[in-house]
Amino acid sequence: MKKILAILGTRPEAVKLAPVIKRIESYPNEFRSLVCVTAQHRQMLDQVLNLFDIKPDYDLNIMKPHQTLFDITCNALMGLKRVLEKEQPDIILVQGDTTTTFVASLAAFYLKIPVGHVEAGLRSFDKFRPYPEEINRKMTTHIANLHFAPTWQSKENLLKEGIEESTIWVTGNTVIDALLMIAEQVTSNARKWDAYFSEKWKITFDSKRIILITGHRRESFGEGFQNICGALKIIASGHKDLKLIYPLHLNPNVQQPVKNILGGIENVQLIEPLDYEPFVYLMTKSYIILTDSGGVQEEAPSLGKPVLVMRDVTERPEAVEAGTSKLVGTDVDKIVFETEKLLNDMDYYQKISHTHNPYGDGKASEMIVEVLGTV
């Protein structure tokens, strides 16, 4: 029986690894499935684990107020040393580009334990955007033994860096597996979620078009977030028939400029961060999504939602090339112009919203587990 240890620390990792973990668990005669969380993030991570009924075997619980990348790296590395030495798994699974992802890979390397990297090969080719994720992902690549690339372009990136082709599998992105599962659940319980938003925030899904906003990237702290908020203020002021909903990240570098600039505007609602289910429901009800999130860039096309990416570069160029999303950076004029175009040009909107999602069909986890059974 092959012992597989999944290591994760944040909500995005949990969402994207959950379908893989559940798939592994469905083969109890072939695999022993273990899960370790660093809890680099806490509350939002726990919500996803509960949603998918995943009970960690180990919880390092490293999150603390005002933690730095140094704190996360050191505490996670020493905590994972103890777990890996005790369990000696046949392989560890990590996902994406977080500090937990890199540190878990490094810890496994020190103990000569093979690493499988889910969502391998994404590149922005700018080591500070996204920061620190671009370098986390690259360093994980050069430690990993198995590379599960979501797209052919990701595979090409890996090949150009000298990764052996026999260790790369193009699987699609596991976030689509998770999204399709949860989207079906929430849309079939629309009354429940309508009531949830109405009772908690007095949000009703009436005739007004909704723009959903998410933003939290470190590289946008300061002037970047001020520009984003300035653009949103212009859009909200010019379209009283719109409703802008912004689930606000808890980081003070995000909260302060957003509240200072957008607080009190009648058709802008600043709400607390959402659990994954209500967030997916809100995506289904939105007309346009403005985001700097990598996961949302991948998810929104499966829901037929145009995405404006508030970053200067993206490690997910497939969506831009396919036409499901557009880079607008943190430039006020670009954000306003592209939003207005989607609001006013119905042919343009329809073209984007009906474009095929380049990130897969929801069967990525199935393929990954097939590979794990054969290596």
* Catalytic center residues: 97, 119, 133, 216, 218, 249
Q: Helix, strand or coil for residue 11?
A: helix
* CA–CA gap between residue 93 and residue 104 (Å, rounded): 9
* CA–CA gap between residue 150 and residue 175 (Å, rounded): 10
First to last CA, the chain: 13
Amino acid at 103: V
DSSP string, 248-289: --S-HHHHHHHHHHHTT-TTEEEEPPPPHHHHHHHHHH-SEE
Residue partners of 313: CB distance under 8 A and separation at least 6: 124, 125, 126, 129, 327
* CA–CA gap between residue 97 and residue 217 (Å, rounded): 13
- Maximum alpha-carbon separation in the chain: 62
* CA–CA gap between residue 359 and residue 144 (Å, rounded): 22
* CA–CA gap between residue 356 and residue 325 (Å, rounded): 11
Structure tokens at 114: 């093979």
Eight-class DSSP state of 357: P
Verify cis geometry, omega within 30 degrees of 0, for the bond prior to 130: yes
